[in-house]
Amino acid sequence: MIQGHIQVVQACMNIMASRDEKPIQWLLTLFYDMLREDSSSYAIFEEASKQKIEVYKPLMALLLRPGDNYTADKEMHVIKKLRETLTYSRVEKVIRLCLTVLKNFLGNKSLCEDIVEEGILEAVQQLEFEKWRDAELYDDIKDMAIQIGSEVSEMSNFERYERELQTGKLQWGFIHSSKFWAENVLKFESNDFRALKVLASLLQSPATDDTTLAVACHDIGEFVTLHPLGKKKVAQLQVKEKVMELMAAPEQKSREVRREALLCCRELSESWSNHNVALTNQTY
């Protein structure tokens, strides 16, 4: 019915702006189920945008409205879903609509952070290597990659890393990438290596979840590898024993944790081995 009468979308968006929660919840459920069952339904919203029907603002207003648990539930972890769609879909209309949504989302600071942390940049950049019938789509993809890349550069900072440390929960993202570490490793010297100490405490806490343990192992390995005093500072924190314990953890422990602990332990061992060789050479 909506495909045959696109103005129905306008009526739906008008209702989204009302104060009555019941019809809003009904429409959100309708859209949620429709898009989940048939991805080609995204074309409805693309067509509505072409006909100057405002789709973005009413939905964004709901997205950012505080205290509405039902609306929050129907956000389907929107940025994560966009990344999955960009990764697996090769339908031009779907990709074009995703890029349009991202362009609108980049105007919101909170959503920008989610876009950066969910690794959307890598997903968009990968699209440049696909074959598209519409030549203009290549330009749209490149423009979006540039815009997101600008956000990544702006947000890849040590202060953001410290804020995440203070939450006690680490998640894979750009602030745990090799690029971040190469640019920020010397900043870990601030406040008497405070960030490194917090990182070590997370690794040693029995309450730390598996993802945080895996990321902490990865980050300690990066620090040891890149910082001139890496091996010395990590040795002072006495975390090698904990890393070895995680590496040999039983099967119920996350495979990801064991893998990152193994890689971290390898970096620690190589660093101390090189250190011992240097001491031996100095002795002789």
Helix (H, G, I), strand (E, B) or coil at 210: helix
What gap in Å lies between CA 132 and CA 192, rounded to an integer? 52
CA distance 238 to 149: 37
* 70 pLDDT more than 80: no
String of DSSP letters for 164-185:
HHHHT----SGGGSHHHHHHHG
Residue in the structure block whose two tokens are 């601030």 = 190
| Token pair of 284 as six digits | 């002789």
Residue 235 near residue 189 (C-beta atoms within 8 A): no
pLDDT at 114: 81
| pLDDT, tens digit (0-9, with 9 covering 90-100), for 199-215 | 999 998 988 899 999 99
pLDDT tens track for 141-177 = 999 999 998 887 777 678 889 988 999 999 888 788 8
Tokens 């895996």 belong to which residue? 214
Domain with CATH 1.20.930 in the chain: 7-155
Q: Which amino acid is at 126?
A: Q
Picking from 101-110, 159-168, 177-186, which range would have the lowest pLDDT averaged per residue?
Answer: 101-110
7-155 CATH choice from 1.25.40, 1.10.3470, 1.20.930, 1.10.760: 1.20.930
Homologous superfamily in CATH for domain 158-283: V-type ATPase, subunit H, C-terminal domain (1.25.40.150)
Q: Which amino acid is at 93?
A: K
Residue 22 neighbours by CB distance under 10 Å: 8
pTM tops 0.85, yes or no: no
Residues of the chain with CATH 1.25.40.150: 158-283
CA distance 64 to 214: 32
Q: Which of 108-122, 166-180, 261-275 comes out lowest in average pLDDT? A: 261-275
- Tokens standing for residue 121: 């940049």
